[in-house]
Amino acid sequence: MNTDQVKVVSSDYSESQLLLSCDTNPQSLDALLWKVSLWSSRGRLPIGTVEDVNIGIRQWPNLTRMMAIPEFIRIAALWSKNPISLAKTVEFLRIETGYVYAFFSACHAMGLIQFHSSYQQHSNQTDQLSTGVVKTGFLRRILRRLQSM
């Protein structure tokens, strides 16, 4: 490390004075934690994580201020509506497991993950969601056919 890159600031500064004295663009701790957890996960799950437990998110992560991938928005939308397991998330959204695991790792590091124990109940709901689109389309076709008669 080059000594020209290190800047020591006295601790009696307020946070605003500290930010003004920085030459670089400072980040919030949340954004830093988000990035570090994404980079360190490398698309893997944290140790001890079970794929079959339903999870949801307590609140949406601020994806506009943090590093985000388009798949993260889809995952956040799914997890905010109804809890679902990691394996079912991959199957339902048809995306790579690495994206789901990386998003889970980052949300877990931020404390946004909420675990749900009723696995069977929620997996049935997601099965209904995936078949509900087909049923809705089928009913619409029947109604259109009846209206045209």
In this predicted structure, what is the pLDDT of residue 15?
Answer: 63
* Whole-angstrom distance, CA of residue 32 vs CA of residue 27: 7
Q: What is the pTM of this model?
A: 0.61
In this predicted structure, what is the pLDDT of residue 134?
Answer: 46
For residue 72, give the nearest of 54, 52, 96 by alpha carbon. Answer: 96
In this predicted structure, what is the pLDDT of residue 135?
Answer: 47
Structural domain contains residue 10: no
Looking at the 3D structure of the chain, how many domains does it have?
1
Structural domain contains residue 52: yes
Structural domain contains residue 107: yes
Structural domain contains residue 118: yes
Q: Which structural domain, as residue segments, surrounds residue 98?
A: 28-148
Whole-Å CA distances, 10 to 17, 18, 20, 78? 11, 9, 13, 46
In this predicted structure, what is the pLDDT of residue 119?
Answer: 42
Whole-Å CA distances, 30 to 1, 19, 64? 25, 16, 13
Structural domain contains residue 83: yes
Structural domain contains residue 95: yes
Structural domain contains residue 85: yes
Average pLDDT for runs of 10 along the chain of length 149: 63 63 69 81 82 85 75 87 88 89 88 71 48 58 75
Structural domain contains residue 9: no
